[in-house]
Amino acid sequence: MKKCSAHDIATIQGVKRSGAVNNQVIRHLLIDSRKLLTAADSLFFAIKTHSNDGHLYIEELYAKGVRLFVVSELPEINHYPDATFFLTDDVVGVLQSIAASHRQLFTFPVIAITGSNGKTIVKEWLYHLLQPVVEITRSPRSFNSQLGVPLSIWQFGSQHQMAIIEAGISKKGEMSKLFNVIHPTIGLITNLGAAHAEGFTTEEEKLQEKLILFKEVETLVYCKDHLLISKYIGKSDVLKSGKRLISWGMDPTSDIVLKKVQQFPHSTMLQIEYGRKSVEFEIPFVDRIAIENTMHCFALAVALDLDENVVDRMKTLPSLSMRLEMKEGQHHSILINDSYNADLTGVMSALEFLSEQNPGLAKTAVLSDISGISSQPEKVYAELAGFMKAKKINSLYAVGPVFEKYASYFREEKIQFTSFASTDALIAHIHPIFFKERTVLIKGARNFQFERVSQLLERKIHKTRLEVNLSIVQQNFKLHQSLLKPSTKIMAMVKAFSYGAGSYEIANLLQQNGVDYIAVAYVDEGVELRKAGIHLPIMIMNAETDGFASLVEYDLEPEVFSLEHARCLDAFLNSEGIQHFPIHLKIDSGMHRLGLDEDQVNQYLIEFKSSRFIIQSVFTHLVASGDPRNDDFTANQLNIFEKLASTIQSVVGYPINRHASNTAAIHRHPQASYEMVRLGIGLYGVSAAAGKSLPLKEAVELKTTIAQIRRVKKRESVGYGRAYLLQKDTTIATIRIGYADGFPRSLGNGRGSVLVRGQAYPTIGNVCMDMTMIDLGDNDQIQVDEDVLVFGREHSIAAIAQQAGSIPYEIMTGISARVPRIYLSE
């Protein structure tokens, strides 16, 4: 198969080549600098958007080895002596032209799906149904835009026998560009809804734009019950001429007739007639949208003459993850958070989902004005009110002027209706107690910032707090950085909630200060960082199989630590149609916890030599890098690691980062810095090495307050179990921290101490779940609500750990999530 080269790019109309003359073969089209896999064969497109400019990342990518750039403005090319720049007025257009040329290399059937809703689900279900009988490539996730479609086409390979591509538009003129890239042979339109209505003057105009995609298809599949679609296809000479039209619907004149729908509690039986055939099958869904999507899939299988192959697989159609998130709220409430969009179809689907949850709880919706309604808004809101009544959603908090205009429809349906002009007004009015023992849907368009509503209802209040000084964290980072060569990268360990300090806040600070990588323990930690706006590469150290989908969705890079783990991940990526996926390979050099030994490394290189994995780094875990007594063992670990890393490097043939140094090794074993180091607890000013340490400052302080002070007489006991009997009359202070907050029980009965007004006072009695008692002796000056320092710069976390018979890592990571984090900057 012909490969695209730099020379080919220069021949595209409107492109002018500048800089060095390269004729590299291009394997990777890059539009996001964070997703660089292999620099030598990547072509970067410097795309300008309203919020970003790809030209800002040219210097960074050049430093990483990228030499081919498509730009709309030339940089100072003498700063990039080995780079080739392709200058054009339309960077996205060049991307599409490359993909269109690649498309012409293949003659297999290409199915294109468009419509207002359901494209991704139909695509994934078609893949599920057809993959056992034909090798399919398909759009990853929701890659259906002007950028996503060409990237999907670029995945076409000689091993494929069919392609399924989504195409989405938001305004006129877009579909002709996608048509030129896709050139489908089979078309399917799902439906026509309110999504992106703002880009068109009428529904007919939007439909006409969508159907441009199918002007040269051989076969077109559609639902005859969608009257506007059916009518337009019926009168269009372009769509009728020389095409095989296949319709489905309840309409008896459809080519495929849905004769009967029989619903059960958790499934639906469909009876279908077409031609001289009659089939019946069950699907594991009960909602109307799932039935429609199923019929789209079945009709397309008929178009491919594969209907008999898919009937048995209908009962195993997978439930695909949606954008709804359920979480626990205050006062025994359940929150359903969906701030993705607020188009009519999405709102109705979310309300239906709400109605199906927690039968014993009352239902409340918090909604913003519905977007994308260009005609008959009064009718839409009236129907929405009726729908909510039918679904037994009995109260509505509405934000926006349109809801207020049509408030009467909701009140007529006996729905408790309260409207607000803005999200600020809503937040000023509501209190979490309003939603006690309710299931609450929070759904609004992004510009309404409904995540603030969700945060309010989740909020927890606690007078114990963990104060994190970000300025000191920054100083500690710079101190460690000064010990390294300028070329050595730093991976910051923000796992376990950044050692208890707060993942996002620490990651954001380090992102601003030039850290190269972030590492977290679990997928959900990485997801939260992505949602919060962290764009750095993120390594996931324990990526379990049920989190693989989130790895892909949120651009997270898993550690692969065993052959079994690699096989599971490879199988998942294959099922998703994803290639060139970044991983980090872990070597067991002596820890004997996770990782591949020498035999397993060799087996990995045999099994996965030509796999879809791109190894971003190879790393190992040092057992005792901070202990001089084990330096010989550390040296042996490094020898094992270097040998295996060299073997891997020689087989894969592209540069791989190596990292072994943790916080202690950064200054005790500088020879082990390699291409990258991992910095963890040292960020917070805690030394992980014995002997001489760095001049670090502790950045974290755990504080609480005094709840009560009392005078207790001699021979009285204090706390549970009567563990301590007073030897004299004593003043006892009860402080607002217990083992549920992360204050260990082992610190009770005088083994631990805290500071009040700079003076240490011992604990007395057993540590309780939420409270701890301390012995003030005869001090009668201390007052209720005074601050108490549990640990910090004046009362070292290392000292507390020693009192508890533990280590600073355990103390820091043990601070409960219910303890608020407060961030300071000097």
Burial class (CB in 10 A: 0-12, 13-18, 19+), 316: exposed
Among candidate residues 495, 499, 554, 684, the one labeled active-site is 495
HSE toward the beta carbon, residue 195, CA cutoff 13 A: 20
For residue 538, what is the enclosing H or E element? strand 538-542
CA atoms of 24 and 20, how far apart (whole Å): 12
Largest CA distance in the chain: 102
- Distance CA(332)–CA(488), nearest Å, equals 49
CA distances from 114 to 170, 175, 188 (A): 12, 10, 7
Element (H, E) at 349: helix 344-355
The kind and range of the H/E element at 362 are: strand 362-368
Residue with token string 């295996």: 644
Name every residue whose Cβ is closer than 8 Å to that of residue 53 and which is 6 or more positions away in sequence. Answer: 46
Q: Are 38 and 582 in contact (CB under 8 A)?
A: no
Which residues are CB-contacts of 346 (< 8 A; sequence separation ≥ 6)?
Answer: 117, 195, 338, 340, 443
Residue among 22, 8, 212, 17 at smallest CA distance from 105: 8
Give the number of C-alpha atoms closer than 13 A to the C-alpha of residue 702, restricted to the C-beta side. 29
**89 class by beta-carbon count within 10 Å (0-12 exposed, 13-18 middle, 19+ buried):** exposed
Cβ atoms of 43 and 9 within 8 Å: the answer is yes
Q: Which residues make beta-bridge pairs with 499?
A: none
How far is it, in rounded angstroms, from Cα 742 to Cα 497?
A: 14
Residue 515's identity, in one-letter code, is V
SS3 302: helix
What are the φ and ψ backbone dihedral angles of 746, each rounded to 5 degrees? -65, -10
- Per the CB < 8 A criterion, the answer to whether 195 and 144 are in contact is no
Cβ atoms of 813 and 801 closer than 8 Å: no
- Please tell me the distance from the alpha carbon of residue 667 to that of residue 635, in angstroms, as a whole number: 15
Q: CA-based Rg of the chain, rounded to a whole angstrom?
A: 31
Q: Helix axis angle, 631-652 relative to 598-607, nearest 10°?
A: 10
End-to-end CA distance of the chain: 60
3-state secondary structure of 798: helix
495 catalytic per annotation: yes
Q: Tokens 């689900």 — which residue?
A: 121
Give residue 811's Cα distance to chain centre: 29
Q: Cα–Cα–Cα angle for 784, 789, 792, nearest 5°?
A: 165
Half-sphere exposure (CA, 13 Å, Cβ side) for 441? Answer: 31
Return the DSSP state at 317: P
Q: Where are the alpha helices (DSSP H) in 75-169?
A: 91-103, 119-130, 148-153
Q: Using an 8 Å Cβ cutoff, are 587 and 553 in contact?
A: no
d(CA 150, CA 102): 9
Helix (H, G, I), strand (E, B) or coil at 720: helix
Contact by Cβ (8 Å): 565, 540: no
Helical (H) or strand (E) element with 326: strand 325-328
- Catalytic residues, by residue number, are 495, 720
